[in-house]
Structure 1
Amino acid sequence: MKLAVVGGGSTYTPELIDGFARLRDTLPVTELVLIDPAADRLELVGGLARRIFARQGHPGTITTTCDLDAGVAGADAVLLQLRVGGQAARRQDETWPLECGCVGQETTGAGGLAKALRTVPVVLDIAERVRRASPDAWIIDFTNPVGIVTRALLKAGHKAVGLCNVAIGFQRKFAKLLDVAPAEIHLDHVGLNHLTWELGVRLGGPAGENLLPRLIAEHGDAIAADLHMPRAVVDRLGVVPSYYLRYFYQHDEVVRELGSKPSRAAEVAAMEKELLALYGDPALDEKPALLAKRGGAFYSEAAVDLASSLLAGGGSPVQVVNTFNNGTLPFLPDDAVIETQARVDTKGATPLAVPALDPMYAGLVSHVTAYEDLALEAALHGGRERVFKALLAHPLVGQFEHAEALTDRLVAHNREHLAWA
């Protein structure tokens, strides 16, 4: 079984490698190719990857290449984890929206739109090259904004499934609080990527007892602290929102907070410099503890589970993924991409039936889906007016003056990545 990782020079990659090594019985990878245009980073990450495999006795081979077409040739699955523009572009995404009093964040709001505009054309080009080199390969997208990128892939006819680590993070936290194995926890996880709610936490499967009320009653303080939200938010909702909902539920407070401290991108850039120095140590043969602060917790386990199900039907039968709605949420178009529990096998992902969404959640999901429609149009076809309309439609922007000013800033900061600008 051959897997290719596009963006293999990422400092995330050792987390992925560690999962491949530990879970080799679930996903028996024989050949792994790390692909990245940054040859210097790739050499450091690739060296550590080989040492991790060797330490854990994994028999598979790991190669590195800057040649995308050669790297994906013959692959059974291709994982996408790229960042167009690197941390420098992320730093901009997190700062210039604050100048207009709006949240600066890399996956939602104006910054999230900028990332989508940079990313979608690049991902679609990669996917077309994968299709030519390995027409039967599955594409697993971990590249943000996952919902928009996955929708672009699916609408272009690619064999693709989107993946995020938010749900597996909740599963692990709830399992620990309940003192049960993670596999025993089934989440009623519903919404869009980075816009989801845990409507139920069930023991043993989709029909199991809903333990969410007990979790909130007994562990509400800990849950709220993880979300960086007041306990009252969780108590009054009676569900657990994704921590990304903080940008919506506490917008003005978050803007003040972000304006008073260094950007997350600056923190990550410093962390990446330290991580790459660690990766260059020939004695290091395991993922360093610092990597846990980088983000992406449990990404490797979710990726292994998904790839195993898509390639061999061997992973968990039900997983949280991003895929076409196809009637699951009746108020959305079938070709909207939602994030929810789905049955996953070698034919792809089929969403499970979900509880009816309360209007306060359904309304926001509809609103953001409309924005994502416009964002994808702007990413595919370009043009200042399309960018403006997408920004005006976003609930974190929504005002004419803000949309005008943000459009100017977005184009100015991303001109080198926008073919039409």
Structure 2
Amino acid sequence: MKLAVVGGGSTYTPELIDGFARLRDTLPISELVLIDPAAGRLELVGGLARRIFARQGHSGKIVTTSDLDAGVEGADAVLLQLRVGGQAARHQDETWPLECGCVGQETTGAGGLAKALRTVPVVLDIAERVQHASPGAWIIDFTNPVGIVTRALLQAGHKAVGLCNVAIGLQRRFAALLDVAPADVHLNHVGLNHLTWETGVRLGGPEGADLLPKLLADHGDRIADDLRLPRAVLDRLGVVPSYYLRYFYAHDEVVRELRAKPSRAAEVAEMERQLLEMYGDPALDTKPELLARRGGAFYSEAAVDLAASLLGGGGSPYQVVNTYNNGTLPYLPADAVIEVQATVGPQGATPLPVPGPDPLYSGLIANVTAYEELALEAALRGGRDRVFKALLAHPLIGQFEYADKLTDQLIAHNREHLAWA
């Protein structure tokens, strides 16, 4: 089995490599190709990747290359984990929206739209080249904003599934609180990428007993602390929102916090500098502890599970993925991309039924879905008016004056990445 990772020079990659090594019986990789245009970073990451495989006794071959077409040729699956513009572009995404009093974040709001506009054309070009070099290969997208990028891939006819680590992180957290195995925890996970709620936490599978009320009663304070939301909010909602909902539920508080500290991009850039220095140590053959602070916890386990299922192996029967709605949430278009529990196999992902719409979250889901449709249109066709309409439709913006100013700032800060600007 051959897998390719586009963006293989990312400091995330040793987390992925560690999972591939530990879970080699689930996903038996014979060749792993790490692809990245940054040759210097790639060699540092590739060297550590080979040492991790050797330490854990994995017999697979790891190849590094800056040649995308050669790297993906013959691949069974291709993982996308790229960041167009790097941490410098992310820093901009996280700062200029604050000037209008709007959240500055890399996957939602104005910053999220900027990332989508930079990323979608690049990903679609990569996907076309994958399709030419490896017809039938699955594309697993971990590149944010995952929902918009996955929708672009699916609408272009590619075999693609989107992946995020939020759900698996909550599953692991709930399993620890309940003192059960993570595989025994089934989430009733509903929403869009980075806009989700856990409406049930079931033991053993979709039909198992719902332990969410017990979790909230016994461990509500700890869960609320993790989400940085008041315990009373969880008690009143009766569900567990993802931590990204804080941008909506506590918007003004978050803006004040973001204005008072360095951007997350600045913090990550410093971590990356330290990590790459560590990766260059020929004695290092495990992922360093610092990597846990970089983000992406459990990404490797989710990726192994998904790839194994798509390629006909032994993945879990149910997984949280990003895929076409196809009537699962009746208040959304069929071609909207949602993030829910699904059965996954060689034919792709099929969402499990979701209980009837709850206005507590269905209205916001519909609103953000409309924004994502406009965002994808702007990413595919360009133009100031399309950018403006997407920003005006976003519930974190929604005012004519803000949308107008943010449109000009977005274009000014991203001109080098926008072919139409």
Q: Deviations over 1:237-276 (max 9, x none)?
A: 0000000000000000000000000000000000000000
2: CA distance, partners of 1:233 / 1:168: 23
2: CA distance, partners of 1:288 / 1:357: 43
1: CA distance, partners of 2:358 / 2:37: 45
Letter in 2 for 1:77: A
Aligned residue for 2:290, secondary structure, equals helix
2: CA distance, partners of 1:317 / 1:219: 28
Letter in 2 for 1:42: L
Residue aligning to 1:395? 395
Q: CA deviation at 1:314?
A: 1.6
1: CA distance, partners of 2:178 / 2:355: 23
Aligned residue for 1:312, secondary structure, equals coil
2: CA distance, partners of 1:235 / 1:355: 20
Residue aligning to 2:18? 18
Letter in 2 for 1:320: V
Q: Which runs of 4+ in 1 moved over 2 A?
A: none
Q: Deviations over 1:371-415 (max 9, x none)?
A: 000000000000000000000000000000000000000000000
* 1:276-291 alignment, distance < 5 Å: 276-291=276-291
1: CA distance, partners of 2:65 / 2:47: 13
**Conservation of the 8 A alpha-carbon contact between 2:161 and 2:321:** yes
Residue aligning to 2:8? 8
**Conservation of the 8 A alpha-carbon contact between 2:271 and 2:294:** yes
Residue aligning to 2:230? 230
**Conservation of the 8 A alpha-carbon contact between 2:26 and 2:313:** no
Letter in 1 for 2:225: A
2: CA distance, partners of 1:312 / 1:355: 29
The answer as to 2:73 corresponding to 1:73 is: yes
What 5-or-longer segments of structure 2 have no aligned partner? Answer: none
Residue aligning to 1:334? 334
Residue aligning to 1:129? 129
Q: Deviations over 1:176-202 (max 9, x none)?
A: 000000000000000000000000000
Q: Deviations over 1:37-66 (max 9, x none)?
A: 000000000000000000000000001000
How many residues in Structure 1 have an aligned counterpart in Structure 2? 421
2: CA distance, partners of 1:397 / 1:9: 35
Residue aligning to 1:52? 52
1: CA distance, partners of 2:222 / 2:308: 33
1: CA distance, partners of 2:124 / 2:87: 21
Aligned residue for 1:307, secondary structure, equals helix
Aligned residue for 1:126, secondary structure, equals helix
The answer as to 2:344 corresponding to 1:344 is: yes
Letter in 1 for 2:44: L
Q: CA deviation at 1:317?
A: 1.2
* 1:21-170 alignment, distance < 5 Å: 21-170=21-170
Normalising to structure 1: TM-score of the pair? 1.00
* 1:260-299 alignment, distance < 5 Å: 260-299=260-299
2: CA distance, partners of 1:261 / 1:235: 30
Q: CA deviation at 1:360?
A: 2.1
**Conservation of the 8 A alpha-carbon contact between 2:27 and 2:313:** no
2: CA distance, partners of 1:310 / 1:341: 15
Normalising to structure 2: TM-score of the pair? 1.00
2: CA distance, partners of 1:13 / 1:234: 34
1: CA distance, partners of 2:253 / 2:51: 45
2: CA distance, partners of 1:356 / 1:6: 38
Q: Deviations over 1:5-41 (max 9, x none)?
A: 0000000000000000000000000000000000000
Residue aligning to 2:308? 308
Calculate percent identity across the aligned residue pairs.
83
The answer as to 2:319 corresponding to 1:324 is: no
Letter in 1 for 2:299: Y
What 5-or-longer segments of structure 1 have no aligned partner? Answer: none
Aligned residue for 1:247, secondary structure, equals helix
